[in-house]
Structure 1
Amino acid sequence: MKAIILCGTLRKEGHSNTVTLSQFFARYLEDQQVEYEIIRLVAHHITPGTASDLGDPDDAWPQLLRKTLEADIVIFATPIWWGSHSSEIQKVIERLDALHDKLMKGQPSGLENKVGGIIITGDSDGAQHIIGTIGNFYNAIGLQLPPFATLSVMIKEHGKDQYPSEEQLLKIYREKYDKTARKMAQALFSAVRELHAVY
């Protein structure tokens, strides 16, 4: 079983709250024997557009799309910026719109029998709005969002003016979000197994 975490941090390299939370969660995927890859989207050139392939030789999206379609579990990980998901996640949503177009034509999107999850970092509320928006998009492109498949961490240490170390964040995550992360990983794993058993 494979999972891909499309990470919408705006930091091209170095410490990122959203990358750190994604890495924290990925350990629970490992406990379920799920292979995973975390992709820092901002480190790749994703050409703006709504097609799967825009014919741009520098566009990384066709390769990232292949990896997404090969995964059993697709997770969007995003920080909250002004009450919404990041611009990197929005670019992915726009490029995945082509799969919705296929569904509207009666063709498979390629994401049937796959499940989605959502990871969110922030220092104040806004997570429920983002879960609603991304969950609606998952539904529109064929991804199933099972119960308990979200991990949102709203803590002051995520604030723009805060500079916690990775170790400090991981300590907080382990102490306060262990059960939530474990339950999410188990929910995703179980949902994939059930889908494979049916189809």
Structure 2
Amino acid sequence: MGIAVICGSSRKGGNTEALVDLLIDGLDADKICLHDYHIESVQDYRHVEAWPFYPDDDYRELINKVLENDIVVFATPIYWFGMSGRMKYFIDRWSQTLIEMGRDQFKQQMSAKTAYVIAVGDDEPHIKGLPLIQQFQYIFDFMGMAFGGYIIGKGNRPGAVLNDSAALFSANELRQKLMETTKREME
């Protein structure tokens, strides 16, 4: 059982990544920081007759990493009450993968995964971040993925999330749960 963590922050070492680092400390996790990759925006080819050519970017490499794991953590700052543009680009490209791999094959592969969300914001994130959590819930429902839970942290300036005791507690609880799960899988 593997864990893929997709960090959607545009800032290296920001609050979202700090919370992710606490979560995966001691876990064998594949941390994917989207700011280190080039992902083009989605092009809608659903209704064209000729087979489309998709961008030559890093998306396929990343989606293959995700498909190799059983648990996927989506970590994003709360930007304008939603996910980051980098995260949105990545998820939007699933539309192309649904066509390219075949709807049933990709959805079946994703439906075997359990998903978690980490979101960090500053302006009442525990209230204003809930529509983002709901958006992820709809995405996971569409793909047939189990939604294991979420953590919302509060922070703006670098390192501020480390003062959010509730988020730190939740990250520790989830880390313990993931450690126990991976330990059981290895036995």
Q: State if a TM-score over 0.5 links the two structures.
A: yes
Q: Higher relative CO (CA 8 A, sep ≥ 6), structure 1 or 2? A: 2
TM-score after normalising by structure 1 = 0.73
Provide the residue aligned with 1:143 in structure 2.
145
Match of 1:36 among 23, 29, 37: 29
Match of 1:134 among 111, 133, 136: 136
Please give the alpha-carbon distance, in whole angstroms, between the structure 2 residues aligned to 1:3 and 1:56: 27
Residues 152 and 49 of structure 1: is their aligned pair in 2 closer, same or farther, counting only changes over 3 Å? same
Structure 2: runs of 5+ lacking an equivalent: 45-51
- Answer yes or no: is the 8 Å Cα contact 2:6–2:73 preserved in 1: yes
Provide the residue aligned with 1:120 in structure 2.
119
Match of 1:74 among 72, 75, 78: 72
**Number of corresponding residues:** 174
- Answer yes or no: is the 8 Å Cα contact 2:112–2:145 preserved in 1: yes
Provide the residue aligned with 1:184 in structure 2.
174
Identity over the aligned pairs, expressed in percent? 23
Residues 2 and 44 of structure 1: is their aligned pair in 2 closer, same or farther, counting only changes over 3 Å? same
Query: Residue type matched to 2:3 in 1?
Result: A
- Tell me if 1:94 matches 2:92: yes
Structure 1: runs of 5+ lacking an equivalent: none
Residue deviations 1:68-95, cap 9 Å, x none?
0001111111111111111111111101
Q: Report the RMSD for the aligned CA atoms in angstroms.
A: 3.0
| Other structure's SS at 1:111 match | helix
Provide the residue aligned with 2:39 in structure 1.
46
Please give the alpha-carbon distance, in whole angstroms, between the structure 2 residues aligned to 1:69 and 1:145: 16
